[in-house]
Amino acid sequence: MEWEFNGVIIEWRGPAPFLFITTPPDVAAEIKDISPHVTYGWGCIPATATIGDTEITTALFPKNGGYLVPVKVAAQRAENIGIGDTARVRLFIDLKLP
């Protein structure tokens, strides 16, 4: 399955600061519907995200009823983006049902 959307880059502080883009509610609802088929535990979902022109392999994290798309440092540098910037995201989840 594939989605495309714009999102604002946010910071979530844990042991180290990480940057994310939150999926829109409609995308989150569709991901939640398929999550039992694709999660590998703790609700994390493997995905490929293209941020701008930079493709990254990552995992979505569930948070507050939605999902966070990690913005890896490689994408931050390649796209010259940071906290508060808006970025275009193309998100792909490989849905292989039996």
Residue 97 domain-assigned (yes or no): no
The length of the chain in residues reads 98
Q: Say if residue 27's pLDDT is above 50.
A: yes
The residue with greater pLDDT, 11 or 17, is 11
Strands (E), 1-98: 2-13, 17-22, 45-51, 54-63, 66-70, 86-92
Q: Percent of the chain having pLDDT more than 70?
A: 94
Mean pLDDT score of the chain: 92
Q: How many angstroms separate the CA atoms of 13 and 3, rounded?
A: 27
Q: How many angstroms separate the CA atoms of 64 and 88, rounded?
A: 22
**27: helix, coil or strand?**
helix
* Count of structural domains, the chain: 1
**pLDDT band of 98, cuts 50, 70, 90:** very low
Kindly report, residue by residue over 39-73, the tens digit of the pLDDT: 887 889 999 999 999 999 999 999 999 999 999 99
Q: With a threshold of 0.85, does the pTM exceed it?
A: yes
* Helices first, then strands: H and E counts in the chain: 2, 6
Residue 56 domain-assigned (yes or no): yes
The pLDDT score that the predictor gives to residue 43 is 85
Residue 57 domain-assigned (yes or no): yes
Residue 39 domain-assigned (yes or no): yes
Residue 98 domain-assigned (yes or no): no
Q: How many angstroms separate the CA atoms of 42 and 9, rounded?
A: 23
Q: How many angstroms separate the CA atoms of 74 and 94, rounded?
A: 22
**Does the CA dihedral 21-56-72-61 come out positive or negative?**
positive
Domain that holds residue 46: 2-92
**pLDDT band of 97, cuts 50, 70, 90:** low
CATH number assigned to the domain comprising residue 24: 2.40.30.100
Residue 25 domain-assigned (yes or no): yes
